[in-house]
Amino acid sequence: MFTLKKFRYVLIFITLHISGCLVEPPLNNEGISENSNANDFLAYIDQQGYYQQSAGRPPTISAYEVYSYRSNLIILDLRSEDEFTIGHIPGAINVSPNSILNEISTSRSTSNKQVVLVCQTGQFSSYINCLLGLYGIENITTLEYGMASWNSKFSEIWEDNCVWIYKDTTYYMNDTIIRNSTASPFPSIPEIEGNSIEEKVKKRIANLLESANTTIGKPTENTVLFTKLNTVYNFLDYPASGFRGFKVVCYGIENLYRLYGRTGPADTPNHPIGSLWYDIPINLNPLTRFHIQTLPNSGPLVIYSSNGLDSAYLMGLLRFLGYDAKSMLFGVNAFGYNRMLNHEDPLIREDAFKPEDIFDLPYVTGSE
């Protein structure tokens, strides 16, 4: 039913490069010690196959599709009670992350309908989408751009955060491509009691869903899960070409990382100074586990993608594995919106939030 248009970025590999060219350098895994919890968890996820099927991106559905098929969908609204009361999709159920597992079990007790997750922007719901998939729940989709796409009453949150160009690009952006070819051990995950790997995995995910409650009602604020571009640049270490205390990682195709405009390579490049470009294969085989481990684990990671949905989804996997990962709100839309709109690559243009992404569909108010 849903349109997995996000799959068009990849056929064999998800592009998430820390790199300088298309030729892979040799990877050095000499002396790596493994965190047994993370290794066991990843082996279990590999066996289940959900993350591979998703191609590492949140399955999304448009507002128009939700409206057209709403009688055959379970629509779960993850926003705060106040946000829900102001306006929501007819038939939607307001639910918090810590109770969503029970809600899905109850709602699917008589039929296995597709579940649509809704938030203000599509970013928080993409994170929850990943966790539910890792838990083993199938047929979950995210409303693309959230309620901002449902009706213009709610679209201001996206419109206000599409920034044509962020400050002085020669100071804040560069074209230095950085690659990490040495793997590090997985971060440590606190020991979880359980009689099986499955039980431990599900407890781990339930804990992450519980902690996600602190993000509800804060769609544009710095939280444990999300951060704003301005906050990232408060820690810019210039001219050392990086950020103090964390690493910035680009999750997207090469054109997203380099983000030249229509004028070609002579145009000013546009990715945050010192940011990494990383590549992970889709299937979670041992090679993928090694590639994941080339992500720095010595401190927090701030991940950005085209529109913040993909990075939020990846954040779910990384936090599950113990990484201190955050997603940058609104992605490249927040600092290179003009280049996305005018880019020669249609895949880049497609992920720029545009007026045609707002459908002005009917909504209802109140708590029911």
Displacement of CA 158 from its chain's centroid (Å): 16
Helix (H, G, I), strand (E, B) or coil at 292: helix
Burial 144-160 (b: 16+ CB within 10 A, else e): bbbbbbbbeebbebbee
Are 309 and 122 contacting, i.e. CB atoms less than 8 angstroms apart? yes
Q: Which segments within the chain are labelled E, that is strand? A: 13-14, 60-61, 73-77, 93-94, 114-118, 140-143, 173-174, 226-227, 236-237, 242-243, 247-250, 271-272, 276-277, 280-281, 301-304, 325-328
**Domain-embedded: residue 362:** no
Q: What is the DSSP letter of 27?
A: P
Residue range of the domain that includes 346? 5-357
Q: Phi/psi class of residue 259: alpha, beta or left (left: φ > 0; alpha: ψ in -120 to 50)? A: left
Per-residue tens of pLDDT for the chain, all 368 residues:
544 454 434 322 333 333 333 233 344 444 444 566 888 888 888 888 777 677 778 999 999 999 999 999 999 999 999 999 999 999 999 999 999 999 999 998 878 899 999 999 999 999 999 999 999 998 999 999 999 999 999 999 999 999 876 655 555 666 666 767 777 888 888 889 999 999 999 999 999 999 999 888 888 888 999 998 888 888 877 666 678 888 889 888 888 888 765 444 445 556 787 888 876 554 556 656 777 888 888 889 999 999 999 999 999 999 999 999 999 999 999 988 888 888 888 989 999 999 999 999 999 999 87
**Domain-embedded: residue 363:** no
Alpha-carbon dihedral 334, 339, 343, 346, rounded to 10 degrees: 10
**Domain-embedded: residue 300:** yes
**Domain-embedded: residue 367:** no
Spatial CA neighbour of 207 closest among 93, 58, 97:
97
Are 128 and 213 contacting, i.e. CB atoms less than 8 angstroms apart? no
**Domain-embedded: residue 51:** yes
Q: What is the DSSP letter of 328?
A: E
**Domain-embedded: residue 347:** yes
Q: Considering its fold, how many domains does the chain have in total?
A: 1
